[in-house]
């Protein structure tokens, strides 16, 4: 699942709004949100990618890493589902 994100006017503000909404989200809720998004997949709606990028930034703030990959600042992709492990997360083994 890869989305080619080409920044447009207003993206930063849209991402900031979604990031603010995640500010008080617990670690368990963040993992649940990621897994739900991962299960749905990237459907190509710009608003969805704003939410995914906000989730990525929040994961980095809370956990120090994110299961969302941003390559060359433009390719955004979701990995496999994750599970909580202590105060961090790891990829779920099949």
DSSP string for 56-78: HHHHHHHHS--SEEEETTTEEEE
Percent of the chain whose predicted confidence (pLDDT) is above 90:
85
Q: What is the pTM of this model?
A: 0.92
CA–CA gap between residue 82 and residue 93 (Å, rounded) = 9
For residue 33, how far is the Cα from the chain centroid?
8
pLDDT at 41: 93
Looking at the structure of the chain, the number of domains it has is 1
pLDDT at 27: 96
Name the nearest CA neighbour of 67 among 22, 21, 36, 94.
Answer: 36
Q: Which domain holds residue 44?
A: 2-91
pLDDT at 1 over 90: no
């Amino acid at each position: 699942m890869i989305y080619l994100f080409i920044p447009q006017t207003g993206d930063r503000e849209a991402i900031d709004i979604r990031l603010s909404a995640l500010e008080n989200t617990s670690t368990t809720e963040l993992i649940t949100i990621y897994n739900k998004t991962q299960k749905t997949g990237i459907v190509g709606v710009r608003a969805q990618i704003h939410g995914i990028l906000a989730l990525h930034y929040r994961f980095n703030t809370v956990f120090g890493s994110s299961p969302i990959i941003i390559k060359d600042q433009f390719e955004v992709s979701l990995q496999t589902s994750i599970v909580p492990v202590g105060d961090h997360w790891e990829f779920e083994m099949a």
